[in-house]
Amino acid sequence: MDRRIKTVYYLSIFTLLLMLTGQFYWLYNQYQYNGSKKADEMKQVCAKVIKAEERIRSDARTRAKPRNGEKDTLKININIHIDNRRNGPAQTTSTFTYDLPGKRRIRFSGRGLETEDASTIYNRYVNTRFRPFQKDVLDSLLIAGSLPPSAEFRFLKKTEVKMEPQYRILNRWRKELEVVYCSNPMLKEGVSFIIPIPVSGVIRTMAWQLLISLLFLCVLAFCLIYQVKTILIQKRIDGIRHEFMKNMIFEMKQPREDSSGKNFLRLGNTEFRYDLNELKCGNERVMLTSRQAEIFKLLSDAPNEIVPREQILLAAWGDDSYANSMALNVQISYLRRAIRSDESLAIDVIYKKGYLLRVKL
């Protein structure tokens, strides 16, 4: 029974750990999902913020004093290349040529560009030349849009030009949204910055999921504690049943005795009735168990002589195991208390030999 109890106990713990692992894995995936949803919301706000920052610089440039005699000429040459090798969408390559003041000519090529992008590229160029992309304005607009200020802001050179802001979610110790914006496509200049994704907002969106998970974990913990408690109670009952069966078997093996008084034995001032499992000293009567009576009988059969420990164990328990040896110590302690009212009797322990019933004559 002990082996089966241990098996159930270990299986219960393994099942709980497995369910906890699955629950935490589910919560982690929910955190990632809600973080991605929050990032999508932040992308829309970032796009509006970047357009607002670009508009602020454009308005400032318009209000500034115009340059005298400076005129920019814009020439557009559009080449379209269609690739149908895999029946996919047509790939459009556009080439824009800008004649700028100072006889400077810039040729710009890119895929997926439309005709109206030519003026957008030029406007970003003149805005950047008038005033570079401003981090303090960006942070003010982000805060106004209920987002945290930017971090790791830097200017960079782009190898590939994208007209719209590009986003990437960084899974560091906390989720972050990386934004790359080509502020000056004509010269392939851009800015990059990071916006932390608020953890509180993500947790707030999954509050009901956390509540259900907490309730589920409490139910699991209660079930495990109840199961372990039931197993321990059953184990204790099995131990009592096992001890009872051992006593019953021992009693059944004993020969039947009559109460004619032949097992009556006087030791000092004490009368020992083996058939009744009884010790009597004067008016004091002490009842013994069958095993205690058997032990006392072995000692009383050889008063003032050493009775080997192994002999008592084999006679009373049938084997001299360590557990039975500990039980013998307990029974000897009980017998000492049973005869303490008779000063002529004493049970002595002879180290590494056995026990001796000392009787004063």
Q: Element (H or E) spanning 344, and its range?
A: none
In a domain, 354, yes or no: yes
In a domain, 322, yes or no: yes
In a domain, 340, yes or no: yes
In a domain, 23, yes or no: no
The DSSP annotation for 14-80 comes to HHHHHHHHHHHHHHHHHHHHHHHHHHHHHHHHHHHHHHHHHHHHHHHHHHSPPPSS---EEEEE---
Find out whether 169 and 36 touch, Cβ atoms under 8 Å: yes
Alpha-carbon distances of 181 from 150, 169, 260, rounded to whole Å? 13, 15, 112
What's phi and psi for 182, nearest 5 deg? -85, 95
Q: Element (H or E) spanning 351, and its range?
A: none
- The domain spanning residue 275 has which CATH number? 1.10.10.10
Residues 6+ apart with CB under 8 A from 277: 287, 288, 289, 290, 292, 293
Lay out the sheet containing 278-281: strands in order across: 264-267, 270-273, 278-281, 284-287
In a domain, 212, yes or no: no
What's phi and psi for 272, nearest 5 deg? -115, 115
Residues 6+ apart with CB under 8 A from 68: none
**Cα distance between residue 316 and residue 324, in whole Å:** 9
Q: Element (H or E) spanning 162, and its range?
A: none
**Which of 259, 256, 347, 244 has the alpha carbon at shortest distance from 295?**
347
pLDDT values of the chain reduced to their tens digit, one per residue, 361 residues: 467 667 777 777 787 788 778 878 877 777 778 778 888 989 999 999 999 999 998 888 888 765 555 555 555 555 555 555 555 565 667 777 777 766 677 777 777 777 778 888 888 888 888 888 989 999 999 999 888 999 999 999 888 888 889 999 888 777 889 999 999 888 889 999 999 987 776 666 667 767 887 787 788 778 778 877 887 787 788 778 877 777 777 666 656 555 454 557 888 888 888 888 889 888 888 999 888 999 999 999 988 999 999 999 988 888 888 888 888 999 999 999 999 888 889 999 988 889 999 988 7
Token pair for 351: 């180290």
Q: What is the DSSP letter of 103?
A: T
Q: What is the DSSP letter of 186?
A: G
Q: Element (H or E) spanning 253, and its range?
A: helix 207-253
**Cα distance between residue 197 and residue 43, in whole Å:** 11
The SS3 call for residue 135 is helix
In a domain, 102, yes or no: yes
In a domain, 273, yes or no: yes
Question: For the chain, how many structural domains are there in total?
Answer: 2
In a domain, 350, yes or no: yes
Residue tagged 């002529």 (tokens): 344
Domain that holds residue 297: 264-359
